[in-house]
Structures are given as C-alpha cells and as structure tokens.
C-alpha cells in the first residue's frame, strides 16, 4: 500500500496481519475511481453527499460504518489500532471522507447514556443512514461561553415548545435530526436549568438558512425555532441537567474531531497539489517531511489516548488532541497553499481549514483548559 509511514506500520502490526489483509482487499475491491476522485476533491469536513452515500453503503454492507461502536450496537468493535490502520489505509487510497455526526458524536452518547428505547430507535437508523444528525449548541450570544445559551424550552404537557435560534449548525440542511441544548428554566443562568433534547428537523416551525463561507461551500447554517413542539421524553439525562450530557458529548467530539487519517489525507493532497504546480525543491521536501513527522507523533498520541480509554471523560486529554490536530491540519494546508497558490484545490483547502481552530472550541479555549489542568490560576 502506498503512503504508509513507520508508525502506521506499527499500528498495522498491532491490528494484526489478517485484519490488515482484509482491509486492503476490501479497499482494493470497493474503492472505484469515481469514489477516489470524490475523496481527492474534498476540501471541507466531508465529501459530496453522493460520494458519502455510495461509500457509506459499501461500509454498511461490510459492517464497518461505525468502526468504534461495540458490536452489540451494530458497530465494528475495532480496537484503536485497527481503526487507525483502517483510517490510514483509506487516506492512502483517497476514500471519501464521511465524518458522520451520528456515528462520531451522538451515537456514542446514546450508547453511553441513552435509554434502551432511544438506543433501539436511533442507533439502527444512524447505521442504516436513515438518520443524519447535526449539533445545535452555539447561538448568536453563546459560543465559547456556551452556557450563556438562551434557546427557550417551555414545558407544555408531554412536550417542550422551543423558541429561539442556533448558529453555525454544520450540515443542518441535510440533517433529519438535531441534538440541542435549551434552557428549560428561565430563572437560571450558566449550566443550570438546561435540557439536552433530540429533535426531528421536519417539525413545524424549524427554519434552516445556509451560510456561505469564503471557500464557496455552505457547511454551516442558522436554524430558527418558532414555537417548535417536541416530546420532552426525547432527551438525554434529566430535565435541568442537560449540561452534564453536553459536556460528555463535547469531550467525545473533541477526541475524534480531526484524526490521523484526516491529517494524512490533507498532507497527501498538499503533496499532490505541489507536484502539479512544479518541482518540489529541497526546502519544500523538508517541510513535507517535518509535517509527516508531526503526524506520526500525533498518531502516537491518538493511539495512546484511545488504548488507555481516554477521550470521553478526560477533558485535558481531549483538548490536547483537538488543539494539536487542528493546528497541524492548518500547518499542512498552509504549506499546500504556498506550494501551489494557483491550483484549484490548495487555496480552497487552506480556506476550509481556517475554521478548524474555531469549531469544537477555539484554540484559546483549549489552551485555557490545559493551563487550568496544570494548575495555572
Ligand atoms: C465551520 C464551523 C462549524 C461549526 N459547527 C458547529 C456546529 O455544528 N454546531 C454548533 O453548535 N456550533 C458550531 N460551530 C460554532 C463554534 O463552536 C463556535 O464558533 C466556537 O465555539 C466559538 O464561538 P464564537 O464563534 O461565538 O466566538 P467567541 O466565543 O465570541 O470567541 C471570539 C474570540 O474570542 C476568543 N475567546 C473567547 N473566550 C475566551 C477566553 N475565555 N479566553 C481566551 N480567548 C477567548 C475566542 O478564542 C475567539 O478567538 C461551528 C463554527 C464554525 C466556524
């Protein structure tokens, strides 16, 4: 397989030769040239909806759509080493980038803290692709200070009535469901008096307005709630204690926000763009080699965090992973832009990764978390 580096080989050894051969054979067989072209053309967080659907169907049929979920819930039940091998192999072969919020964030939360009914209703629908999820946390006046949120959830019989808005909601235009935080007790502030709700996007009163970014893509949206009725039973955790579930979800999201596979894809794309723009001189070669090394180091950290069970309840560890990965992602696309400023791909990729140090918590916020963890006042 092309593009595998020493640490990826280590991961492969840990993953086992049989597993490795199975993955290689599957990718060799199923990744058509069309799918690889869609993977190569991806500048944002995920590939085109058509490519995601087609590649997702192949992974679903093989039982590999949710690599980290336990097999009891329909996942592949892979170890961290197996997942890393698979992601590196996908990156080396330009597989489409899926980044399903259902698989990566709300699914693991429902597995950890959902009721049996929620697990039975939502997990199979995430796996089949029938449900696509988006995350409704940020609001116009609540980003880094998320607990300042004001979306109102007013109790009415068995339902809540939602009034207010969310901002920067990624892929809301394609989502069938949103998990959101709302204020159910208007007399509270901060993390008190919140409820974590699972809401269908086709409920009357929800309006989605896409936001166009500098790279021309529409990945995020404004979402308005005009008296939206939604069942109170469709929540994670107790009424008034939504902040607890939100913190767990944010740790999950940060822990798998930008993975080794995403970084390897970006570096491969930057090298490809540079080669298309002319000779790669010694200085550029050295920069690419340095970025390779930084990805290897990040992979070692990701593997260690995964195998020691960090990721869900270790806030400093997930902050460190998020910070390192997103800043490295930007360094890769900056090098790509410098090497190929006039290509179609490198400038769009560069612009798309500017947001990586903002979503899932800004770099400044994560540095604050890390500083507090080592005892800074
Ligand atoms: C592409 C993209 C996709 C997103 N997707 C989603 C999504 O799907 N769902 C969702 O809910 N949200 C989403 N977000 C929102 C994202 O989580 C917020 O933008 C982020 O938390 C920052 O909040 P803010 O934009 O309100 O900036 P602010 O919080 O106003 O921050 C402005 C600046 O001040 C700095 N700052 C703030 N507080 C501190 C502090 N205490 N110490 C030091 N510096 C500080 C920040 O680092 C930043 O530089 C997305 C954002 C982007 C850009």
Residue 1 confidence (pLDDT) above 70 = no
Q: How far is the CA of 103 from the centre of ligand 1 (A)?
A: 23
Summarize pLDDT for 27-49 with one digit per residue, the tens: 999 999 999 999 999 988 889 99
Summarize pLDDT for 294-320 with one digit per residue, the tens: 999 999 988 888 755 444 457 788 899
CA-to-CA dists, residue 345 to 75, 105, 266, 280, 291, angstroms = 34, 29, 11, 17, 19
Summarize pLDDT for 283-296 with one digit per residue, the tens: 999 999 999 999 99
Q: What is the pLDDT of residue 13?
A: 55
Q: How far is the CA of 153 from the centre of ligand 1 (A)?
A: 23
Shortest-distance atom of ligand 1 to CA 171 = 8
Residue 109 confidence (pLDDT) above 70 = yes
Q: Hey, whose CA ends up nearest to atom 35 of ligand 1? A: 364
Residue 214 confidence (pLDDT) above 90 = no
Residue 6 confidence (pLDDT) above 80 = no
What is the mean pLDDT of the segment spanning 45-68?
94
Pocket residue to mutate for ligand 1, from 138, 319, 322, 355, most atoms within 8 A of Cβ: 138
pTM of the full predicted structure? 0.92
Residue 130 confidence (pLDDT) above 80 = yes
Residue 80 confidence (pLDDT) above 50 = yes
361 lines ligand 1 (CB under 6 A): yes
Indicate the range of 230-234, 326-330, 373-377 predicted with least confidence. Answer: 373-377
170 lines ligand 1 (CB under 6 A): yes
Q: Hey, whose CA ends up nearest to atom 5 of ligand 1? A: 170
Residue 249 confidence (pLDDT) above 80 = yes
Tell me the pLDDT of the chain averaged across its residues.
91
Q: How far is the CA of 280 from the centre of ligand 1 (A)?
A: 36
Q: What is the pLDDT of residue 313?
A: 54
Please state, for a pLDDT cut of 90, what percent of the chain lies above it: 80
| Chain mean position to CA 208 | 21
Q: What is the pLDDT of residue 307?
A: 57
* Long-range contacts of the stretch 31-40 (C-beta < 8 A, 24+): 31/93, 31/94, 31/95, 35/95, 35/96, 36/93, 36/94, 36/95, 37/94, 38/96, 39/93, 39/94, 39/95, 39/96, 39/97, 39/265, 40/94, 40/269, 40/272
Q: What is the pLDDT of residue 8?
A: 45
What is the mean pLDDT of the segment spanning 325-340?
96
């Amino acid at each position: 397989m092309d593009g595998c580096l020493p640490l990826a080989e280590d991961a492969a050894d840990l993953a086992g030769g049989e597993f490795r051969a199975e993955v290689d054979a599957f990718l060799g067989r199923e990744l058509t040239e069309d799918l690889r072209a869609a993977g190569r053309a991806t500048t944002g967080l995920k590939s085109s909806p058509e490519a995601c659907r087609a590649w997702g169907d192949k992974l679903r049929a093989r039982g590999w759509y949710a690599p980290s979920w336990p097999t009891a819930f329909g996942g592949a039940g892979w170890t961290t080493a197996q997942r890393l091998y698979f992601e590196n192999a996908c990156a080396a072969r330009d597989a489409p980038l899926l980044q399903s919020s259902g698989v990566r964030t709300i699914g693991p939360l429902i597995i950890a803290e959902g009721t049996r009914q929620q697990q039975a209703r939502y997990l199979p629908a995430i796996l089949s692709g029938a449900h696509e999820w988006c995350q409704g946390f940020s609001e116009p006046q609540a980003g880094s200070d998320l607990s300042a949120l004001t979306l109102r959830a007013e109790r009415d019989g068995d339902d809540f009535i939602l009034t207010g808005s969310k901002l920067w909601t990624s892929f809301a235009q394609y989502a069938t469901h949103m998990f959101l935080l709302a204020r159910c007790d208007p007399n509270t502030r901060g993390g008190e008096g919140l409820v974590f709700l699972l809401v269908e996007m086709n409920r009357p009163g929800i309006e989605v307005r896409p936001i166009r970014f500098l790279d021309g893509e529409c990945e995020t949206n404004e979402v308005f709630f005009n008296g939206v009725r939604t069942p109170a039973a469709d929540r994670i955790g107790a009424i008034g204690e939504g902040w607890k579930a939100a913190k767990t979800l944010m740790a999950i999201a940060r822990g798998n926000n930008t993975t080794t596979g995403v970084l390897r894809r970006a570096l491969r794309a930057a090298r490809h763009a540079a080669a298309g723009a002319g000779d790669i001189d010694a200085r550029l070669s050295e920069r690419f080699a340095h970025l390779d090394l930084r990805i290897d180091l990040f992979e070692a950290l990701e593997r260690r965090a995964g195998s020691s069970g960090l990721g869900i309840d270790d806030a400093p560890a997930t902050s460190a992973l998020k910070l390192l990965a997103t800043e490295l992602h930007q360094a890769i696309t900056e090098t790509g832009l410098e090497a190929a400023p006039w290509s179609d791909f490198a400038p769009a990729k560069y612009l798309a990764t500017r947001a990586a140090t903002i979503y899932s918590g800004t770099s400044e916020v994560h540095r604050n978390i890390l500083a507090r963890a080592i005892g800074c006042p």
